[in-house]
Structure 1
Amino acid sequence: MWIKICGLSTDDAVAAAVANGATHIGFVFAESKRQVTPEYAKYLSRNVPKTVKKVGLFVNESLTTIEKTIATVGLDMVQLHGQESAAFADQLSVPVIKAFGIKDGKLPVEILDFKQQVILLDAPPAKFAGGSGHQFDWDKVDLAMLSGYQFFVAGGLTTDNVLNAVRIFKPTGVDVSSGVETSGVKDLDKIKAFIEKSNV
């Protein structure tokens, strides 16, 4: 299963994610308390093996800026958290993860346009686009609509509930950011525990 640790901004956190078996690591380039510059993300990922996918998170950014960041950092995937269309996603030079905020358990009809991309189910954004750290209504989601998709589940995941998320959704992957933090900072022990729990 894919395990993505997102919002990384320190050497130690990147190293912990990679050493413990994360398959994807995420850097936030949109407005956020976890935002990093492309140059810093390039530095942070200098020792990341090719087997671990480097993902860049963007919100309604221009194609030019995204492509420049892909080139600077060496991104393997791009995660889109805004109102980007499937046509926009198709123009990007790397595979795309398209995030959807799930309200009242309803999957947006727009996911039908993204069969060719990986999708990410998240809680609706709070202050910043890109996830709120809260759980959406898992039990209300029509799982049949997800048939044929590769998808991540995100939103409020922690070591305590990730197994339940996997049991309910049988996702391609799980994605965590705030759930492996203590007081807003990535917690190396929590990263390790989350990855171990997800791999059970």
Structure 2
Amino acid sequence: MVRVKICGITRPEDALAAAGAGADAIGLVFYPGSPRHVSPDAAARIVKALPPFVTSVGLFVDAGEADVREVLRQVPLDLLQFHGDEPDEFCSRFGVPYMKALRVRPGDDLDALAAQWPGACAILLDAYKPGMPGGTGERFDWSMIPASRSWTLVLAGGLDASNVRQAIDLARPWAVDVSGGVEADKGIKDPEKINAFVQEVKRV
């Protein structure tokens, strides 16, 4: 089974919709520049509403160590996701497993890039767009992803129910990560789109 993460959750009801549809994880964005940003207090309420066995993931972009630790003090996150220029040493400081997001550009050597974060439990690949650390709603060239790799792939970038089957067939990821592709508006999820996405993944 390919796992599913619904990212950019801003409301408890959207987290419950994701869990009810069969998503494996939800993402909480702690980057102030994102329209899907949540405060630690709001995130804590969302995590508290989650049923068992749904992973809570906290997304950061070049946050300071004190900021990450303050979020962790308030929110019981299961996994960290770093979308900036954070080195492996920084990402590994917090005693919580982490994913490193890479924004893919034409010509990138993805194996060489992934090797720079040996402590990561997974590498998330997203589309590169200048000035945007993620959540672009755009896809990259999936054929760039090595068919044989020593790292665990989480695929993001422009996914929705109409193209996730193609993405999985081509890239064979461990998990897929969707945000804008299941929204009614920025930060507001559409339960029908969530369900359609999860069901399409399960059919692959």
TM-score for both structures, normalised by structure 2: 0.91
Alignment correspondent of 1:77: 79
Identity between Structure 1 and Structure 2 (%) = 35
Alignment correspondent of 2:197: 194
Shift of 1:65: 1.2
SS in 1 for 2:113: helix
Shift of 1:148: 2.0
Distance 2:91 2:64 in 1: 11
Distance 1:86 1:110 in 2: 12
Any gaps of 5 or more consecutive residues in structure 2?
none
Letter in 2 for 1:136: F
Q: 1:99-139 CA deviation, whole Å, 9 max, x = no partner? A: 00011152453311223311100001455322311000112
Identify if the C-alpha distance between structure 1 residues 24 and 125 changes in structure 2 by more than 3 Å, giving closer, same or farther: farther
Shift of 1:11: 2.2
Q: Is the 8 A contact 1:57 1:79 kept in 2?
A: yes
Residues 40-79 of structure 1 aligned to structure 2 (within 5 Å): 40-79=42-81
TM-score for both structures, normalised by structure 1: 0.93
Alignment correspondent of 2:178: 176
Distance 1:114 1:153 in 2: 17
| 1:143 and 2:144 aligned | no
Letter in 1 for 2:140: F
Which is further off, 185-194 or 109-118? 109-118
After TM superposition, what 4+ stretches of structure 1 lie above 6 angstroms from structure 2? none
Q: 1:155-180 CA deviation, whole Å, 9 max, x = no partner? A: 00000110111111111100000010
Alignment correspondent of 2:15: 14
Identify if the C-alpha distance between structure 1 residues 17 and 114 changes in structure 2 by more than 3 Å, giving closer, same or farther: same
Any gaps of 5 or more consecutive residues in structure 1?
none
